[in-house]
Each structure stands twice: as C-alpha cells, then as structure tokens.
Amino acid sequence: MTDRRIPDWAMRAWERFTLYGLIALGSVIGGLSRYLVGVAQLALVGPPFPWAILFVNVTGSFIIGFYATLTGPDGRIFAGTRQRQFVMTGICGGYTTFSGFSLDTLQLIHHGHRAAALANVAASPVAWLIAVWVGYAVATRLNRLRTVAATGAEAENLQIPRHATLLRIFVDESDQHDGMPLYEAIVLKAREMQLAGATVFRGPAGYGQSSQMHLANALGVPDTLPLIIEIIDGEDAVSRFLPALDEMMPGGMVTMEKVEVLQYGRPAGR
C-alpha cells in the first residue's frame, strides 16, 4: 500500500507559508486602519499636531497589552501561535508606527512648531506605556474573573480526585488538524471540554516506528521534533475526551496511566 502521508518538509513549508500569509494579512488590516485614522484626523481636526499617530500608537499599545495578556499562559482565551502572530505582529505591527511618530516630530520642528514637537516627544512614550499597562490590567482582571466565577457545578467539574488518570499523547510537530497544529487543537479541545489540565512538551530528539531520528540540526533549525501532550483529570472525564481525540489523531501513540494527585491549583488563601 502506498504511503500517502505528506512529507515533513512540505508540512513545514506550508506552516511557514500560512504563518507569513497571516502576518501579511494582519499588516494590511493594521496599515489600512492607520491610514483611515489619518484621513479622519485631517477631515475633523487638521494639522499641525499629529493626533492620528498619537491615537494609533496609544490604542495599538492598549490592544497588544490586552490581547497578549488575555491569550497568555494564564489567559482566559486560548490562542495558537498563528493567531497571536496575526494579531500582535500583523495587525498591531501594521497599525502602530514609530517611524511615523519620528517623521511627524521632525516636521513639527521644521515648520517652527517646536513646542508641539517637544510635547509630542515628552507625552507620546508615556501615553504608550500607560496604554499598554491599562490593557494588561484590564485583561488580568478578566482572567481573574474566570477563577472567581468558577462556583457551584463549574467548580465541581474542575476538581481532580486524588487518584486520577494521566493521558499521554505522542505526536509529531508537523501534524495538523483543521488547519492548525495538532497539539494546539488537542489542547484547545481539552480546555473546551473542561479537563483539569494539559501541557505540551517538546522533545529535543527522538524516533518512532520508522526508526528515523528527529533532532535539531547543527544550525539550530529544528527538524520535525516529537511532542508529548499530557492531560490529567478523573477517569470519567478522560474517558469522555477519548472519542474527540480519536477523531483528531492521524496516527501516533496514546497511553494512559493511573496517578496520585498530591496537589492541584493554588493553596487556599493565596
């Protein structure tokens, strides 16, 4: 029987192409948004002070601080690498501009508006830092609401019995599911089904059924490395997750074992 599996190099190339395409699309969205803000300033306020650049840099700082915190490791929303790069590198990178700020300041000086130029230099960086901090603070507050709101039946679902089940899933870094890395899809599904915890480990070297070694090369560019996903919860919760996992797995290996949980979550009062 012919092996129709897509070669690893082709999968890596497609992943790179998809990532670059998403960043480019985000840059178009961000850059066009910045242009429209500039048009609005000229129509509503006019020169000389560059209110548009100040506005996009302040709002962009808020957005990136908010989104990075909301989708971080302790965030309320799960977002994969490509989604985060699309928003933060693409949209925010295209939307905000330090070069525009520098040029506007130079033009203010050139046209004799030295006081406005000084105000722009003094106020803008402070406003950016305040905005990114406010975004971080708001997202942190939202992240904490998730924990505070976990009461009643929801809180009951998040408890792990002392004698739990550890699900260990072995996949390749290049494996895909519905247009995203398989490991991200598995973690997202586990979180959607409210399993207690999931962690992805990246192996620096390994081989499987084919006996082909996978390891980082001498240039530091990684080959398709093995990944291990560990999911822990009660036996019933893990059993409910297995049918969903079966639909996503193109191959690989899955093991289950009984474990004793000594501590879960933060101690009371912290």
- Residue numbers in the known binding site for Na(+) are 93, 96
CA 212 to chain centre: 31
Q: Residue 252: how many CB atoms within 10 A of its CB?
A: 16
Pairing status of strand 205-206 against strand 197-202: unpaired
Please classify residue 117 by burial: count the beta carbons closer than 10 Å to its beta carbon, then call 0-12 exposed, 13-18 middle and 19+ buried: buried
CA dist., res. 101 & res. 50, Å (int): 8
Q: Residue 135: how many CB atoms within 10 A of its CB?
A: 22
Q: Say which DSSP state 88 is in.
A: I
Helix (H) or strand (E) holding 214: strand 214-215
